[in-house]
């Protein structure tokens, strides 16, 4: 499962960090997550076989084989 977003910080709220907010919401629900577009290390160590929710920009997820169905991906803009 993946949460894919277009922009890390929305234009109308420059103080908001969307991936961190998503991660905190997943933590509250006890769901493991991996923010693969956080930095180079996170992107290089990404393992598609890991049982966790992937948090990524739409650009960083290109070429990654994320198992999903159309109902398991959320797109934030």
Report d(CA 12, CA 58) in Å as an integer: 20
Locus of tokens 């006890």? 30
Contacts of 71 (CB under 8 A, 6+ apart): none
| pLDDT averaged per 10 residues in sequence order, the chain, 77 residues | 79 82 92 83 77 83 58 46
**pTM passes above 0.75:** no
pLDDT of residue 47: 75
Q: Domain extents for the chain?
A: 2-76
pLDDT of residue 77: 42
In the chain, the N- to C-terminal Cα span, in Å, equals 18
């Amino acid at each position: 499962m993946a949460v894919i977003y277009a922009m890390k910080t929305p234009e109308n709220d420059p103080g908001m960090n969307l991936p961190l907010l998503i991660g905190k919401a997943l933590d509250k629900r006890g769901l493991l997550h991996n923010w693969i577009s956080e930095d180079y290390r996170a992107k290089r160590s990404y393992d598609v076989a890991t049982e966790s929710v992937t948090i990524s920009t739409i650009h960083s997820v290109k070429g990654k084989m994320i198992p999903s169905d159309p109902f398991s991906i959320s797109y934030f803009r």
